[in-house]
Structure 1
Amino acid sequence: MAMVENSYSTRNWLITAVIFSALFLVIEVTDVKFLLADYIYRLEGFQWSLRDHFITKDILHNGVRELNFVAIALVLFLTIYHYSPFGRREKRRRYTLLLLSLLLSFGIVNYLKATLGMDCPWDLSLYGGAKPYVDFWSFRESSFAPGRCFPAGHSSIGFSWLALYFFWKNNRITLAKFALVSSIVVGFSLGLVQQLRGAHFFLDDITTAFICWSVSFFIHHFGKHHEANQR
């Protein structure tokens, strides 16, 4: 039964991966990703007027990021606690997998941001910046410092917590579904905040969502496979 469930879940992930890849190619090749950025830029008076606004920068960017650090620290504390004599042995694996999912999601997104070198909209001459647009498939201009704007880091604060869906999936299905919906809503909401600031294109957030979902999916199934082999 477990093997059938794993096969079904893997097939669903593969379907999601194919859909994401096709969507990414279409959006990137046709430059559809510029449509929303163009609209926001015009709406803000041909400038990124919300880039340094108190609400978008200090509260919804810096404040939410600090809150996320607290949440991760709490998961770390609970994981360590369940490895102590006072914790519950049966919860160790679940909290370890949750912590791994969170850290890997943030780690992979930030690694790609650092290595791919894509620019933010606010950096581009199209939107009042200094740099020419260089697409995903081209080499970077050596005269410009590489950007750190793809995929989206801030929306990963929401999407990484998709791991809670798998954390509660087998014993608290209502909470699991709530975590699934909440993580998606928070992820895209934080992504929109950054788009309003000129920090990202909407494709960046879609990519981050797929990365975080994939990390949580594979960590969860690796954990289940490892647990089954130990029985």
Structure 2
Amino acid sequence: MTQKSINFQILLSFILLVFVLIFFQVTDVDIYIQELFFNFNNMTWIWNRQEPISEFLLYSGLKKSLIVFALFILGILVIFWRKQIIKKYRFGLIVIVLSSIIVPFTIISLKNITNTPCPKNIEYFGGNYPDIKVFDSYPKDFVQYGKIRCWPAGHASGGFALMSLFFLFKKRKNQILALGFAISLAWLMGLYKMAIGDHFLSHTIITMLIAWLEILLIAKFTKRKFFEKST
């Protein structure tokens, strides 16, 4: 991907991010979609968060696997930095490592400051919080004893960081396959969290857009600073 196409993708991603933020802020689409994951007869979510196999495959085990993968890529870079085969893929490997750090860090930082409830927390789905969106303020008479950390989707951020695999490959077909794999895995993680009441649809979409925007910025900076000068 050239710097020109990266710049275009950055602009497009930013515009789309703003549109999605506004769209979900002014509509109740999140609620309508989330109703599909909730049983109003017994006031429970359609997937049990305590179910051990899915919890391991789609949450705890997968999260650890993503960390191990990032450390593995970092190890390859450090140990084999001067090897010719690594030089060929060095740009993509650096983008992957930086994305694996920066994307989750950004999402976790946003979660720490936005103070937005999860679906399971709001009154409509049996919780005790009002339906507060990210740019809303809590009612004056609502007593909150601590910040809540549900926006955007932190768990899926590790999966979306894998969209950086796009920059590892040279052939367009392989780039598309890598991007498709990362998006599919991340959305599997996101849908699991929706099914147990931890996130709205918008939380995962926002995480995906922020992740891709940051990956593009990382690729742009890395290419300009360390690779274009050497060509």
TM-score by length of 1: 0.87
| CA distance, structure 2, for counterparts of residue 87 and residue 15 of structure 1 | 33
- 2:39 aligned counterpart, secondary structure: helix
**What is the Cα-based RMSD across aligned positions, in Å?**
2.4
- 1:164 aligned counterpart, secondary structure: helix
| CA distance, structure 2, for counterparts of residue 157 and residue 12 of structure 1 | 21
Matches within 5 A, 1:82-231: 82-83=80-81, 88-89=86-87, 91-140=89-138, 143-168=144-169, 171-226=170-225, 227-231=227-231
Structure 1: stretches of 5+ with no match in the other structure: none
Structure 2: stretches of 5+ with no match in the other structure: none
- 1:146 aligned counterpart, secondary structure: coil
| CA distance, structure 2, for counterparts of residue 75 and residue 31 of structure 1 | 41
Shift of 1:79: 1.7
Aligned residue number for residue 68 of structure 2: 70
* Alignment of 1:25 onto 2:26: no
Shift of 1:116: 1.1
Q: Is the CA contact (8 Å cut-off) linking 1:101 and 1:216 kept in structure 2?
A: yes
Q: Residue 215 of structure 1 aligns to which amino acid in structure 2? A: E
Identity percentage over the alignment?
21
- Offset from partner CA, 1:98-133 (integer Å, 9 cap, x none): 211211111111111111121111122221122222
Taking a change above 3 Å as real, the CA distance of residues 44 and 23 of structure 1, as seen in their structure-2 partners, is farther
Shift of 1:164: 0.5
Taking a change above 3 Å as real, the CA distance of residues 8 and 93 of structure 1, as seen in their structure-2 partners, is closer
Q: Residue 218 of structure 1 aligns to which amino acid in structure 2? A: L
Shift of 1:218: 0.9
* Alignment of 1:36 onto 2:38: no
Taking a change above 3 Å as real, the CA distance of residues 143 and 55 of structure 1, as seen in their structure-2 partners, is same
Shift of 1:136: 1.6
| CA distance, structure 2, for counterparts of residue 86 and residue 9 of structure 1 | 26
- Number of positions where the alignment pairs a residue of Structure 1 with one of Structure 2: 226
- 1:33 aligned counterpart, secondary structure: helix
Q: Which moved more, 1:14-23 or 1:114-123?
A: 14-23
TM-score by length of 2: 0.87
- Offset from partner CA, 1:31-67 (integer Å, 9 cap, x none): 2111111221137842125222223323311121121
| CA distance, structure 2, for counterparts of residue 60 and residue 45 of structure 1 | 25
Q: Residue 50 of structure 1 aligns to which amino acid in structure 2? A: N
Q: Which moved more, 1:79-88 or 1:6-15?
A: 79-88
Taking a change above 3 Å as real, the CA distance of residues 10 and 128 of structure 1, as seen in their structure-2 partners, is same
